[in-house]
A and B are shown apart, each in its own frame.
Chain A
Amino acid sequence: MTKSVGSVALTEAVYYVLLSLQVPRHGYGIMQFVQELSNNRVQLAAGTLYGALSSLVEKGWIEAVEGASGRKKEYVITIDGQSVLEAELVRLEELVANGKQWIGANRS
C-alpha cells in the first residue's frame, strides 16, 4: 500500500530519529539524545536504530554526512525529511487536541 508522504504516521522511533537529526549526529549520539528527550522512556536498540537509519536514507529523508568526529558516520535530516516531520507534528497536534477535547467528555 502506498501513501502520499503527507499522510504517513511515523513510528515513535522514526519520529524521534528525525527530530534528533535537526543537527548532524552519529548513531550513538542519536540514541543518547532520544533517551534524554523522552526521560529514558524511548531506548533505541542498536539493530532497530540501524534498520531505521538505513530505510530513512533509502527514502531520502536523511543523509549521511562527513562526520566532524572523523571515524563515525553522521547523519542529518534532508528537506524531504523536514517536511515529513512537520506534517507529522500537525497530525500529532490533531491527536492531542482531539484527545483533550473528548477524553472524559461524557462525564462533564
Chain B
Amino acid sequence: MKTKTVYRVYVDYEKEEKWLNEMAAKGWLLERFKIGRYVFSEGKPDEYMYRIELLEELPNHSKSKAYLEFLDEMEIEVVDTSFRWIFLRKRTEDGPFHLYSDFDSMIAKTNRVLQLYQLVFLVNIIAVCINVLSPFAVWVIWPNLALAAFVAYLIQRQTQKSRTLKGLREISEQD
C-alpha cells in the first residue's frame, strides 16, 4: 500500500479537520498521527469523511472506552488517538458524518475545546513570565507569545461559537 508522511503543526483543530477531509477527497486517508506527523495511505477519493473529537477523559479511561465502543457500533472507525484528541472516519456512502446533531452537545464540545485552549494560553503566559523574571531560554519568549496570541484568537472564536449556539438553544426545546 502506498503511504505518504506529511509534517505539519495545527493548533486550530477545525482547520486540521478541513485539511484531513481535503486529503481524503483526493484519496489520501489518515492512518496514524503523532504531534506534527501525519501518515496517509492511498485509497479511493471521497471514500471517507474525517472528524476530530476531543474526549472528556484520556482514551484508556473507562468512560472513553465505552464511548469508543459505541462509535464502533455506529460504523465509525477510530483511526488514531493523541492525548484526549481522537481521529475518526466514516464511509461517505453511509451518509454525512456529524458527531453532534443538537445544540446542547455542540455547546459541550465547544466548551471542552475552549477549556483546552485556555489551558494552552495560560501555560504559555506562565512560561513567558518565568522566562522574563529569571531568563532560562530567552529565545523561547517570542514563539511562546506568538502561540499565546494565536490561541487567544481561537479562544475568542470558540467563545463566539458557544454564544451563538446558546442563543439558538434558548429558542428551541431543552431538557
- What residues of chain A have their CB less than 8 Å away from a CB belonging to chain B? 8-14, 26-28, 31, 42-51, 55, 71-73
Contact = CB atoms under 8 A, between A and B. Distances in A.
Contacts of A49: 74
A28 B173 CA distance: 24
Interface stretch (B2-10, B40-48, B101-109, B123-131): B101-109
B174 interface: yes
A55 B100 CA distance: 15
A48 B73 contact: no
20 contacts: A9-B174, A11-B102, A11-B173, A11-B175, A26-B73, A31-B74, A42-B101, A43-B95, A43-B96, A45-B98, A45-B100, A45-B101, A46-B99, A47-B100, A48-B100, A50-B67, A50-B71, A51-B104, A73-B70, A73-B73
Contacts of B173: 9-12
A10 B53 CA distance: 26
B14 interface: no
Given A26-B73, A27-B73, A27-B74, A48 B174 contact: no
Contacts of B75: 28
Contacts of A14: 175
A13 B102 contact: yes
Given A13-B102, A50-B70, A50-B71, 11 more contacts: A9-B174, A11-B102, A11-B173, A27-B70, A28-B73, A28-B74, A42-B101, A45-B101, A48-B99, A71-B73, A72-B73
Residues of B contacting A: mostly = loop
In order of increasing CB-CB distance, the 9 nearest A-B pairs are A47-B99, A45-B101, A45-B98, A46-B74, A48-B105, A48-B101, A48-B100, A50-B70, A47-B100
Interface residues of B, number: 22
A69 B96 CA distance: 26
A52 to B, nearest CB: 8
A44 B67 contact: no
Contacts of A27: 70, 73-74
Interface in B61-106: 67, 70-71, 73-76, 95-96, 98-102, 104-105
Contacts of A44: 101
